[in-house]
Structure 1
Amino acid sequence: MEFNDLKIFQTVAKHESISKAALELSYVQSNVTARIKLLEKELQTPLFYRHKRGMILNTEGKRLLEHSREILSKVEEMKRTFQDKSTPSGVLEIGIVETVIALPDILSAYNSKYPDVELSLKAGVTDRLLQEVIDMKLDGAFVTGPIRHPLIEQVEVIQEKLVLVTKGSAFSVEDITTKPLLLYNKGCGYRGRLESWMKVEGIIPKQIMEFGTFGTIIGSVAAGIGITILPESSVTDLAANGTVVCHRIPEPYREVTTIFIRRKDSILTNTLQCFIDEIIARTRHANMRHSEIIPMSSTDG
């Protein structure tokens, strides 16, 4: 059994389709089919239920999926361990939620210090990025916290306030029942806060429209299509020039914390440790600037 066969198997399981898996892997379909059949022959059991529209995992296939994830994650960990050097280098794969205001400063500072590191960024929602960190597909990720998981350790990056964002200044809670909500896909931490609030208040939204990018969401809000929820910092400039308007939501749903997560039992390479050190340094610097501003504003009052 080859490691690559397990990667092929995982891709077929994800897409439930030989043709879609072949497209993602840049293989011919016959090769993917042959590798799956060889895997089933080696294990002496079928792994999929096959039907006209594709194939889905059977019980044995689900068992293999769990084993394959563990095996391949250990292989990747082993590679990173042997590739690690005293000077950070190589590829660092980081997941991000799109509205992390502190991210550009962190990336810029890290890039300046360690030019031999190639930063690979993958945008997504919190739940998906969490799973990819657990599966060791990502070295770490910036997500909405806190995260309570036995395999995860976290570093706080920034605390922010969530706001409802609309086109016009006139707004009431009832508008949620008459206008579409424009939200990130399921698994987004901001969306989770809004849904918790609506559930407590008994608010039933008129419609939820799902989007994958910040630009599409905020552009649609600015066009008057609907309402969204975002960190206030991500729309400060747009609110200042009147493109959108921000509206408060009640506690405890308003406060949101962005954290950086990694799998705690994975090898902490020097490349990743330096990245975490940069996060901590930038966070400490931001907190010091904030503490210096507060006394000045209080004396003015």
Structure 2
Amino acid sequence: METNDLKIFNEVAQLKSTIKAAEKLNYVQSTVSKRMVRLENQLGRKLFHRTNRGMALTEDGERFLDYTTRILATVSEMEEAFCLDKRQVRVGGTQAITQNYLQGYIFDESLSIFTKPTADLVQKLKAGMIDFILVNKKINDQKLKEVQRIKEKLVWTQAKRNNTELLENKILISREKDCPYRNATLEILKKQNQIEASVIEIDTLDIMVTMLETNNASAILPKKLVDSNEKLQVLPNQVQKQGIIYVYTTQEMPLNKGFKLL
């Protein structure tokens, strides 16, 4: 059982919502939900009643909240008493990048992960609120410097249970105009004179993946994401345009402070 799990539990309990807790803690909502399920499995107790109106504590959840509140208070007191260095490397990514590449770092206590749209990440980086950002577009700004570049393979995908031809499906794209997966999709549809195809704009990656899993729908997404989802398949239709992930920091960032995405 990890201290971060207790912190997440406390936020979900107070806010009665995994979505609100994820926003406050700068996590992906699906990660918060998975950590709460894992915590319940470790304890062998159900901590929440899950309803359409949100998350409500069970009797065991109320008892556990009392323990976690005291534990977290003790941890905070210990850190203050021994002057422990709380300085973390703050890393920001978009929804897709966080889900595909940063989830493994979320519970590394030397790092703090933020999930925001690209424009917000750039703003926070320049304001000194984040140390590194991972984005899908090249940023031309003299105050920033590129420290790493990673190629990202993009593929067409749909549910394994979905046998419908690609262009007979609903085509899902992100509502974010700068999203490279959206732009690659629209570019292909235009080249194939299929711009009139039934395209649906989606607000979040989690919703898009759920819609792919449960409907006759297709989308262009990173192969890494598709390979990690047992309900999705890679389609044979080729995506010529591939993605690039750029890692940026500020020009003033000390040389002894770094973050490298493997």
TM interval, short-chain normalised? 0.5 to 0.7
Query: 1 CA distance for matches of 2:128 and 2:178?
Result: 19
Provide the residue aligned with 1:96 in structure 2. Answer: 93
Work out which of the residue numbers 134, 153, 158 in structure 2 matches 1:161.
153
Q: Give 1:246 deviation, angstroms.
A: 1.8
Provide the residue aligned with 1:122 in structure 2. Answer: 114
Does the CA-based 8 Å contact 2:150-2:244 persist in structure 1? yes
Query: 2 CA distance for matches of 1:161 and 1:231?
Result: 6
Q: Give 1:236 deviation, angstroms.
A: 0.6
Does the CA-based 8 Å contact 1:93-1:140 persist in structure 2? yes
Greater mean alpha carbon deviation, residues 128-137 or residues 219-228: 128-137
Provide the residue aligned with 2:136 in structure 1. Answer: 144
Is it true that 1:192 corresponds to 2:175 in the alignment?
no
Q: Over residues 46-94 of structure 1, what are the superposed CA-to-partner deviations in whole Å (9 max), with x where a residue is unaligned?
A: xxxxxxxxxxxxxxxxxxxxxxxxxxxxxxxxxxxxxxxxx97524432
Query: 1 CA distance for matches of 2:188 and 2:119?
Result: 19
Provide the residue aligned with 1:210 in structure 2. Answer: 202
Moved over 4 A (4+): 104-108
For 1:216, give the aligned amino acid: I
Is it true that 1:262 corresponds to 2:249 in the alignment?
yes
Q: Give 1:235 deviation, angstroms.
A: 1.6
SS of structure 2 residue aligned to 1:196: helix
SS of structure 2 residue aligned to 1:191: helix
Does the CA-based 8 Å contact 1:125-1:189 persist in structure 2? no
Provide the residue aligned with 1:228 in structure 2. Answer: 219
Does the CA-based 8 Å contact 2:106-2:112 persist in structure 1? no
Query: 1 CA distance for matches of 2:129 and 2:180?
Result: 20
Provide the residue aligned with 2:232 in structure 1. Answer: 244
TM-score, scaled to structure 1: 0.48
Does the CA-based 8 Å contact 2:227-2:233 persist in structure 1? no
Structure 1 residues 209 and 171: alpha-carbon distance in aligned structure 2, compared to 1, 3 A threshold? same
TM-score, scaled to structure 2: 0.54
The count of residues paired between Structure 1 and Structure 2 equals: 174
SS of structure 2 residue aligned to 1:235: helix
For 2:132, give the aligned amino acid: G
Indicate the structure with greater helix content: 1
Does the CA-based 8 Å contact 1:156-1:257 persist in structure 2? no
Query: 2 CA distance for matches of 1:170 and 1:257?
Result: 30
For 1:122, give the aligned amino acid: F
Query: 2 CA distance for matches of 1:99 and 1:228?
Result: 13
Structure 1 residues 155 and 194: alpha-carbon distance in aligned structure 2, compared to 1, 3 A threshold? farther
Query: 1 CA distance for matches of 2:116 and 2:143?
Result: 20
For 2:87, give the aligned amino acid: G
Does the CA-based 8 Å contact 2:149-2:247 persist in structure 1? yes
Provide the residue aligned with 1:275 in structure 2. Answer: 258
Query: 2 CA distance for matches of 1:198 and 1:150?
Result: 35
Q: Which runs of 5+ in 1 are unaligned?
A: 1-23, 25-86, 284-301
